[in-house]
Structure 1
């Protein structure tokens, strides 16, 4: 891979001319950087008077300039080469990351992808590469949305959760792969961030088109304990909140079960209502096969008092 990654993990991008000029000099010395005594290197060779070396230095400088120009022309990635060679490699890696599940992991040569992205950025293909990336992921998300539309209600929630978690997991790899493009094109020229753009794509192409269908199913599932697993419910609610916090208004009570401080602080006059809700939840647990344990040592009314005290303690911390 091109020597662009420093030991501390930071990146230092060179412009096209300097990058290729350095390569031309390196080729003249068997792939190594020019020694300190040569022209354009830092410092000057010791022991040789300037007057004696000026003629030879001028000749070598002219030779290096010609070599650099030739090397630069040979390293140019044409638009046709980008479309036929470089982008297909990137597209294949993106497809794998978007569609693979954790159980079916397919290894990807990250070094090769880093190198492809870096070379395309150096050769001024950033704009086209960004357009191709957005187009590829948009088409994928449109397909995901169509699959969700055809899902039966009993599988709809699970399908949405799978699509959300799989996509967010893929971004953890896709965004670092395109770090050069993000740093030297999206951030500097578009004043945006790649991850934010890709998260917004999911919001626009999938979540917004399905939230009105999803929310009633979530409310129904929440009112029927264990219709779906608590982890699935928490994943979807937290995911929707991360995509669009204002979706809380669609079901404030539901969101408040998973997101702290969504509802205003509870009033003392509402504690009896909360206690009644808690008792109903306990009855639902019993009906679904969960034992309440040994109740023989509880005094009459203790359950209600305990429930009210627990709720009061929770609301004092900002939870309902």
Structure 2
């Protein structure tokens, strides 16, 4: 099939697509998915074609009625022929439609933040829509999963070859890049998700794609990554706080049960991970805070100008109490 047949958006087909797109509640899109095609509207009758026809004789009117029926039959035949000419065969899908989707997915998966991607989102969105209408959802879903799986396996191999001092940063880049790509990929395949994945598979596309990253990247690297994260935690600013936060929150999103591997680490970035504090442990918390302050000072961070503090604002650690003095606040 010529490529322009895919990109042509005008004429009767575009009107039909708009009707089906805007009338889900009336079952228009569902009928289109089942292969049904709405017939064109009946041509206007003689009484609608201007005052000049109203004065015609009955015999002429009957002749015109017969002609109108013939015109309607011709229009129906033309509409059927147009529909048959625009059928997307499996060969058309493989040679014309999927290559366009494949190229767009490649660019989205490998883009860096802020990159300009020279693809037509409208064209890709329309491509997916037409393939769904022509019953190619199952093949398209299979191709999408295979495409992204192959990409993630390459990402995993690149991480395995990373030296320890770059491992955390590269994992953070891979995670952020993939999650960013999903923000574009999932909306582009919204029709496939709505009318195939949710309806027939009882799943969701975004959940499926996140699961792919978990299985093909995170699960393979979690036991190498976690010791490095714990080591970095014990050495403040070995990696940037934003990188640590992104990875920890990302791991929690992928699989919440990984919290059990390092509860203290996750609790620094995810609320309500640890049980509530009890009074008997307040002294220990105070000691941890003092240790952190010493480490910050050793790494060049100062406490700033303390002369402007008002009396009573300094924290005091008196026995088991870590509360600020409440004098003057009765």
Q: Decide: shared fold, TM above 0.5.
A: yes
Give yes or no for contact 1:186–1:192 (8 Å, CA) kept in 2. Answer: yes
Counterparts of 1:141 and 1:10, CA distance in 2: 38
Secondary structure (helix, strand or coil) at the match of 2:322 reads: helix
Gaps of 5+ in 1: 26-33, 39-43, 311-320
Find the structure with the greater CA-based Rg. 2
The Cα of 1:253 is off from its aligned counterpart by 0.7
Q: Which runs of 5+ in 2 are unaligned?
A: 1-8, 325-330
Partner residue of 1:37 out of 33, 36, 44: 44
Task: Pick one of 261, 273, 284 that aligns with 2:284.
Answer: 273
**Matched residue SS, 2:171:** helix
Are the aligned partners of 2:43 and 2:72 in contact in 1 as well (CA < 8 Å)?
A: no
Once the 2 structures are TM-superposed, how far is the Cα of residue 51 of structure 1 from its aligned partner? 7.2
Q: Render the CA deviation track for 1:152-176: whole Å, top value 9, x for unaligned.
A: 1111111011001100100111111
Compute the TM-score of the two structures, normalised by the length of structure 2.
0.79
Deviations 1:245-272 (A, max 9, x none): 1111111111000011111101100000
Instruction: Report matched runs for 1:167-246 at 5 Å.
Output: 167-246=178-257
Does the 8 Å CA contact 1:36/1:45 hold for their aligned counterparts?
A: no
1:15 aligns with 2:32: yes
Aligned length: 292
Instruction: Give the alignment of 1:1-320 within 5 angstroms.
Output: 1=9, 2=14, 4=17, 13=29, 15=32, 17-19=35-37, 21=38, 25=40, 34=41, 37=44, 55-294=66-305, 303-305=315-317, 308-309=322-323
Indicate if the aligned counterparts of 2:315 and 2:323 stay in contact, CA closer than 8 A.
no
- Which secondary structure state, in structure 2, belongs to the residue aligned with residue 305 of structure 1? coil
> Secondary structure, in 3 states, of the residue corresponding to 2:317?
helix
1:55 shift after superposition = 3.6
Matches of 1:9 and 1:159, distance apart in 2: 44
Q: If the length of structure 1 is used for normalisation, what is the TM-score? A: 0.82
2:258 match: secondary structure: helix
